[in-house]
Structure 1
Amino acid sequence: MSGSPSPMIENYLREANFWHMTTIGRGCKLDPKLISALIERWRHETHTFHLPCGECTITLEDMQLQLGLPVDGFALTGSVQSIDWGAMCYDLLGAMLDNIYGGQIEMGWLRDTFLEPRNDSAEVERIQYARAYILEMIGGYLMPDLSRNLVHMR
C-alpha cells in the first residue's frame, strides 16, 4: 500500500481495531539478510525457529503485543462451506470481481477499484474503502499468500 490511509477512514479503522496496523512498517527499513536468516531457521513441521540459544515460536500473545490486535472474544468467521463468494464480495465491498478463487480476491483489483475516497463520498463508500484497505493490509503484510497477490475475504 502506498502511504498512510485517508483520514476519512480513520474512525472506521479504529472501530475495527486496525488503526495501529496502519503504522507498522512506516519509516522502517527491512533488512533482507536478517529476514533470510530467520526464514532459514524456521521449521515448518514444528512451527518454530531453531536458534543457537534453542527453539522459539511466535504466540498469539506476541501477535497481540506486537500488532495491537485483540485476540480474545468471539470468532469472526462462521461456516464457509456454502458461501456465495460473489455475493459476499458485493455485500462487503459494493463491487464484485469476475474471478474469485475459492474466496480469495486479487490485491491488484482492490487497489484499482478502491481509490481514495473523495470529500463528498457517502458513508457507505467510506466503509467499503476501509474494508478494502483492511483486506490490503491482511493480504499485503499480515497474512500474505505465496504470490502476495491474493487475499481471502474471510
Structure 2
Amino acid sequence: MNMSLLSALAERWHPETYTFQLPFEEWGITPYNIYMTLGLRYDCGSVPFKEDLPVPSEDDWMELLGMMPDATDFSGHRFKLLWLSSNFSRRVPETETVAMVKARALILYTMGAMILYHGNELVSSRLLSLVANITFPMPYNWNAALLAHLYEGLDKANRSISRSLTGFYSVIEVCFFDHFPHLAPTLIDHSHPFPRMMLWYKDNRSRTRMFSDLAWRSNIDALVPMMRVVVLHCIAHALLSAYLFALDFALFLQFRTMPYLRSNVALTPRAKEVFQAS
C-alpha cells in the first residue's frame, strides 16, 4: 500500500463535495468505480444502520456460526477479526452446512476488514443478522456502504481528526492508477481486467514508474536501527512531496475520464451489464 500517495490525495480531499481537488477539475470516486474495482453491485437494497440491528444472542451465534467468541474476544458489542480467521480458515471436510457457516464467517470478516474497516481489527456483532440468509445476488448495497465509510475516513483524515485512514482505502489507489496511468505501476499480466482489484494486486506489478516505496529497501535494511528510522522518515516525506507536486501540476490530458472504456475490461460479461444499463 502506497501510503505516500494516499496521504497526498487526502490533502486534496474536499469534504463538502466528496471529491479530490485537482488543478484542472474535481475528481471523485463513485459507485461505478467501486463496482468496476471490486465487483460490488449497487442496484440492491440499502444496508440497515448497525444501530437498527439486534445484538445477537448466544442461540443466534450457535445457529449461524456454531460457536460464540469468548468474553476476551469482545469489546462492547464488537469482536475480534482474529477470532474469525482463527476458527474458520482451517481446511476441514465440508458438508453443505459447514460450507454455509464458513461463508457467513468470510462475509463477516470482509465487512470488518474491508467494507467497514475502522483500523482496530474489530467487527460489530450486530452484522451477524445480515448473513443469516445468504442469497445471490446480494440483497444489500454494500457498494454504497463501502463508499460512505470511505468518504467518512477521508473527511477525518483531511480535517486531521484521525491520524490513520479508515475504510477500504485500497480502492483509492486502484482508481488513481486507472485514472492516472502515467503515475501507475507497469503491469505483468493484463488477462484479468475485471474486477480491477485483481489487475492491480501487488504481485502483478513489475515496477512503479515513479516514487516506489520499496526502491531503496535493500539498502535501508543494512543500516543501523536509528539511522534506518531517520532514512525511512526522509523517504516518506520525499515521496509525499513528490506526489503532491505531481497532483499540483497534473494536466487534463494526463487524466483518463473514462478509463474502463479504453481497455478490454468493457468486454467482460459482468461489466457489459453495467455498460448497457448506463
**TM > 0.5 fold call:** yes
Is the counterpart of residue 127 in structure 1 residue 106 in structure 2? no
Q: Which residue of 2 aligns with 1:115?
A: 89
Q: Which residue of 2 aligns with 1:81?
A: 52
Larger CA deviation: 60-69 vs 43-52 = 43-52
Residue 145 of structure 1, aligned match among 105, 108, 118: 118
Residue type matched to 2:97 in 1? V
Is the counterpart of residue 63 in structure 1 residue 34 in structure 2? yes
Judged with a 3 Å threshold, the aligned counterparts in structure 2 of structure 1 residues 82 and 76 are, in CA distance, closer, same or farther, namely closer
CA distance, structure 1, for counterparts of residue 104 and residue 36 of structure 2: 23
Residue 76 of structure 2, aligned match among 101, 126, 131: 101
- Ranges in structure 2 where 5+ consecutive residues have no aligned partner: 131-278
- Ranges in structure 1 where 5+ consecutive residues have no aligned partner: 1-29
Judged with a 3 Å threshold, the aligned counterparts in structure 2 of structure 1 residues 79 and 40 are, in CA distance, closer, same or farther, namely closer
Deviation at 1:112, TM superposition (A): 1.6
Judged with a 3 Å threshold, the aligned counterparts in structure 2 of structure 1 residues 86 and 117 are, in CA distance, closer, same or farther, namely farther
Q: Which residue of 2 aligns with 1:16?
A: none
CA distance, structure 2, for counterparts of residue 113 and residue 46 of structure 1: 42
Judged with a 3 Å threshold, the aligned counterparts in structure 2 of structure 1 residues 101 and 79 are, in CA distance, closer, same or farther, namely closer
CA distance, structure 2, for counterparts of residue 41 and residue 125 of structure 1: 47
Alignment RMSD? 2.7
Q: Based on CA coordinates, which of the two structures has the bigger radius of gyration?
A: 2
CA distance, structure 2, for counterparts of residue 34 and residue 138 of structure 1: 25
Q: Which residue of 2 aligns with 1:32?
A: 3
Contact kept in structure 2, 1:86 and 1:96, CA below 8 Å: no
Residue type matched to 2:110 in 1? M
Contact kept in structure 2, 1:116 and 1:129, CA below 8 Å: no
Partner SS, residue 44 of structure 2: coil
Aligned pairs, number: 122
Q: TM-score, normalised by structure 1?
A: 0.62
Contact kept in structure 2, 1:93 and 1:131, CA below 8 Å: yes
Judged with a 3 Å threshold, the aligned counterparts in structure 2 of structure 1 residues 47 and 91 are, in CA distance, closer, same or farther, namely farther
